[in-house]
């Protein structure tokens, strides 16, 4: 299954692979060059298909847990000053996504969206300390029925030039449901109450909608 955000890119990939194959088979050239052209077209298409894949994920719904919003690797677990919405100290868990990860963003908890905002910005590398405040990004806050609020922030990187955010304020959302999509790698930060027990470690690989990051 492929994500709807990849429709145009996949069609372009098919077209490029088709054009290169047509050139290789219709124009007189050495066999080795024909094979290279066909191979390049197939590799390009496979990369596009790989990037926009959207495997089915089964989230075990649990009001006591916060699940990872994306696939990737945990690169930061620390207390930070969050100045956009909470304007206070929060526990931040950052997940870095490589270009080969699934890039669907999912809701860490279920509840009601109380805040959803897009910010234009720079394209610093995703692991830059100022990326979460200066890069292009979207910020989403969900109110849990237990009264707690969880924020997740999609952050563009040096390669990611488009962030898609589906969150609509006052909308009820389900844990593990699709919140958005980031094209070509980046990171997502999750902001939790400072005393939240954490279930993951630095450099641990996580799966969006499946791996439990923390518990209320």
- Catalytically active residues, by annotation: 186
DSSP state of 54: -
How far lies 188's CA from each of 14, 36, 93, in Å? Answer: 30, 37, 8
CA 180 – CA 129 distance, rounded (Å): 23
- 2, exposed or middle or buried, with CB in 10 Å at 0-12, 13-18, 19+? middle
Q: Tokens for 104? A: 């669907």
Beta-carbon contacts of residue 171 (< 8 Å; ≥ 6 apart): 112, 113
Q: Tokens for 126? A: 């995703």
């Amino acid at each position: 299954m492929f994500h709807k955000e990849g429709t145009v890119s996949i069609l372009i990939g098919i077209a490029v692979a088709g054009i290169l194959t047509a050139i290789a088979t219709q124009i007189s050239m050495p066999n080795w060059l024909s094979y290279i052209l066909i191979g390049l077209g197939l590799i390009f298409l496979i990369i596009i298909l790989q990037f926009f894949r959207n495997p089915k994920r089964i989230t075990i719904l649990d009001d006591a847990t916060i699940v990872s919003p994306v696939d990737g690797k945990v690169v930061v677990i620390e207390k930070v000053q969050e100045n956009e919405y909470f304007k206070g100290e929060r526990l931040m868990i950052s997940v870095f996504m490589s270009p080969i990860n699934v890039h669907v963003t999912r809701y860490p908890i279920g509840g009601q969206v109380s805040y959803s905002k897009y910010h234009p910005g720079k394209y610093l590398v995703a692991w830059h300390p100022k990326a979460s405040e200066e890069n292009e990004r979207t910020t989403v806050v969900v109110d849990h029925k237990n009264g707690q609020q969880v924020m997740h922030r999609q952050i563009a990187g040096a390669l990611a030039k488009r962030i898609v955010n589906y969150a609509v304020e006052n909308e009820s959302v389900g844990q593990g449901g699709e919140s958005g999509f980031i094209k070509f790698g980046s990171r997502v930060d999750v902001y939790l109450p400072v005393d939240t027990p954490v279930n993951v470690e630095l450099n641990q690989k996580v799966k969006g909608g499946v791996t439990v990051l923390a518990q209320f």
